[in-house]
């Protein structure tokens, strides 16, 4: 395929993991791509791989989306590239940290909220008018099954995913009938570089029956987005777990997550044996 069939798809956090897998899925469907991530070297590798594999136009922008006014900076970079109006926006960039809230650096918490919450909200607001004017556009926001319960030892990360899930569902309803759709993708455990950055040493959960590959998550997310679904939870067992969380007492669910987090790596500093 030598030319893209659709307007460009922008994918953040696109140099590896779920973001790169989503970029491959979109390229298979004929979208040209704009990849956004912090590391220019890894972006360059991803750009070449996507172009060689699918024959679509691929451009990359190295940018820290957690910086102030990153949304405006990204729009300016797109304009400088003479990028046509975006057909698809995928908000995938984000990170989490396994650490008790009382000892987690305030700067780390702020950076997490800037990247996981503030950027997707602001950039979505900036690109929506163009999509609404064209009555066409799809927005995919990568949340997590973490969005459905509290997360001791990853409190800010879990709360950020609850925020983006609620945000996605709310604006999806606001936009109903407009030609623009919003989809929240909520995967369970996925083996990616995310775990290393989060400080999760024991990845035993990732080999459990709940684990789903990045490529499978990407297929489910893009397919759900194309169908206009508001929430996509890849994997049958993850969907069952999410439904169970709706009826379990929230305090009990939080204790289960606490034990799970303690088993995923070194016991978090400051944690006690209290239950």
Ordered by where they begin, the domains of the chain are 6-264 (3.40.50.720)
Per-residue confidence at 193, pLDDT binned at 50, 70, 90? low
pLDDT at 173 over 80: yes
HSE-CB of 194 using CA atoms within 13 angstroms: 22
Per-residue confidence at 152, pLDDT binned at 50, 70, 90? very high
More reliable by pLDDT, 168 or 204: 168
- Residues 138-158 have a mean pLDDT of 95
pTM > 0.85: yes
Q: Is 17 exposed, middle or buried (0-12, 13-18, 19+ CB in 10 A)?
A: buried
Q: What is the pLDDT of residue 254?
A: 86
How many angstroms separate the most distant Cα atoms in the chain?
A: 61
| Helix (H) or strand (E) segment spanning residue 257 | helix 250-264
Q: What is the pLDDT of residue 257?
A: 85
Q: What is the pLDDT of residue 3?
A: 40
Number of H helices, E strands in the chain: 10, 7
- Residues 224-238 have a mean pLDDT of 95
| Helix (H) or strand (E) segment spanning residue 183 | strand 180-185
pLDDT at 46 over 70: yes
CB 17 within 8 A of CB 197: no
Per-residue confidence at 140, pLDDT binned at 50, 70, 90? very high
Q: What is the pLDDT of residue 4?
A: 41
CB 28 within 8 A of CB 2: no
Percent of the chain with pLDDT strictly greater than 70: 87
Percent of the chain with pLDDT strictly greater than 90: 73
pLDDT at 275 over 60: no
Q: What is the pLDDT of residue 211?
A: 79
- Of 119, 148, 157, 194, catalytic: 157
- Is residue 157 flagged as an active site residue? yes
More reliable by pLDDT, 212 or 1: 212
């Amino acid at each position: 395929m030598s030319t893209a069939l659709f307007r460009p798809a922008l994918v953040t956090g696109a140099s590896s993991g779920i973001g790169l897998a989503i970029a491959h899925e979109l390229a298979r469907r004929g979208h040209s791509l704009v990849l956004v991530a912090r590391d220019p070297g890894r972006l360059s590798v991803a750009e070449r791989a996507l172009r060689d594999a699918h024959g679509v136009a691929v451009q990359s922008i190295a940018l820290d989306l957690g910086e102030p006014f990153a949304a405006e900076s990204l729009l300016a970079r797109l304009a400088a590239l003479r990028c046509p109006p975006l057909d698809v926006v995928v908000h995938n960039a984000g990170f989490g940290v396994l650490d008790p809230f009382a000892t987690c650096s305030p700067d780390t918490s702020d950076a997490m909220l800037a990247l996981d919450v503030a950027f997707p909200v602001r950039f979505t607001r900036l690109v929506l008018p163009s999509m609404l004017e064209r009555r066409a556009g799809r927005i995919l926001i990568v949340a997590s099954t973490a969005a459905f319960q509290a997360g001791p030892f990853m409190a800010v990360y879990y709360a950020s995913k609850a925020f983006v899930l609620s945000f996605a569902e709310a604006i999806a309803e606001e936009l109903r009938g407009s030609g623009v759709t919003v989809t929240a993708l909520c995967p369970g455990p996925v083996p990616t570089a995310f775990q290393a950055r989060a400080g999760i040493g024991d990845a035993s959960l990732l080999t459990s029956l709940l684990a789903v590959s990045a490529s499978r998550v990407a297929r489910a997310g893009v397919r759900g987005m194309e169908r206009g679904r508001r929430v996509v939870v890849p994997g049958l067992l993850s969907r069952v777990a999410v439904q169970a969380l709706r009826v379990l007492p929230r305090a009990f669910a939080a204790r289960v997550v606490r034990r799970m987090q303690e088993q995923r790596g070194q016991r978090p500093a400051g944690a006690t044996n209290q239950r």
